[in-house]
Amino acid sequence: MISAVAAVSAFFILEIKSAKSASGNSTLSWSASSFIPSEYKGRALPTQGSRVKVVASPLNSSVNPEKMFYLWLLDNEEQGWANGQGKNYFTFTVKKPSNARYQIEAKILDENENLIERLFLTVKIQNPEILILNEEKLYLPKTVSAALNQELKLIGAPLFFNIKNFEELNFSWKENNRIFSSSLQTNPQEVSIEIPNEKISKKIVKTISAEVSKKTDSLEQAKREIKLEINP
């Protein structure tokens, strides 16, 4: 049997800390338009080309955001088109590469245009990712074990691409850097590996990799490898 664990990428754990910025009266939060499959339990993270929405939400239910005035700054540049009464959110398109950051500031004024609050938020840009799942839809660790006379089904789960569905992606599966399955098959997101019932004297280790790229932009790509250990 394959050993598997349900895992969340390390960068998700890090980035959730900057998903919100709160002060005494309001909070800033962001969301990204990048794609995540239905079985993924984390949040969509922004990549180059994503749309990011930032929202200023009052913590007190008695505050009506429609009566407040909002001034938005992106990397210290005022976003004049996004400013105004009741405009408690704004969106922008990510143009920076991975690992870059956007600094967002919201100035909130009352009905008399007195500054009552300043909020700050940092959004870090990520790379697209692909995770590998087993047939039970559990995310696989970097090393999995398998027995002889077994058929393994692997599933590629792309994350954070700027797409609407899997048809916009090219998939490629490799075993020890040799292609054994590609987007030409019926379901390129999945691959089956047959392990014959042959006698072996010692453990065999194979590298299985899943590669995926956007059809209209080959630079938007991701790769993941796992080690498959076949035991005697």
List of residues 6+ apart from 167 with CB closer than 8 A:
none
Write down the pLDDT at residue 111: 85
User: pLDDT-based confidence at 181, cuts 50/70/90?
Assistant: low
Write down the pLDDT at residue 15: 34
> Which residue would you say has higher pLDDT here, 181 or 62?
62
pLDDT at 3 exceeding the cut of 50: no
User: pLDDT-based confidence at 24, cuts 50/70/90?
Assistant: low
Most confident option among 54-63, 95-104, 176-185: 95-104
Mean pLDDT of the chain: 86
> Which residue would you say has higher pLDDT here, 185 or 215?
215
Write down the pLDDT at residue 91: 97
User: pLDDT-based confidence at 185, cuts 50/70/90?
Assistant: low
Rounded to whole angstroms, the Cα distance separating 215 from 29 reads: 31
Write down the pLDDT at residue 184: 52
pLDDT at 48 exceeding the cut of 90: yes
Write down the pLDDT at residue 151: 85
pLDDT at 106 exceeding the cut of 60: yes
Q: Are strands 77-78 and 115-124 parallel, antiparallel or unpaired?
A: unpaired
Instruction: Classify domain 129-230 at the CATH superfamily level.
Output: Immunoglobulins (2.60.40.10)
φ, ψ dihedrals at 13, nearest 5° = -65, -35
55-64, 135-144, 175-184, 219-228: least confidently modelled range = 175-184
10-124 fold: Immunoglobulin-like (2.60.40)
Tell me if domain 10-124 and domain 129-230 are identical in fold: yes
Write down the pLDDT at residue 182: 55
Q: pLDDT tens digit string along 122-131?
A: 999 999 999 9
pLDDT at 80 exceeding the cut of 60: yes
DSSP the chain: ---------HHHHHHGGGSEEE-SSEEEEEEE--B--TT--S----BTT-EEEEEEEESSTT--GGGSEEEEEETTEE-GGG-EET--EEEEE--S-TT-EEEEEEEEE-TT--EEEEEEEEEE-B--EEEEE-TT-PBP-SEEEE-SSEEEEEEEEEESBS-SSGGGEEEEEEETTEEEEETTSS-TTEEEEEE-----SS-EEEEEEEEEEETTEEEEEEEEEEEEEEP-
pLDDT at 210 exceeding the cut of 80: yes
User: pLDDT-based confidence at 229, cuts 50/70/90?
Assistant: very high
Nearest to 6 by CA among 95, 138, 99, 110: 138
- Give residue limits of the domains in the chain: 10-124, 129-230
Segment 21-50 mean pLDDT = 87
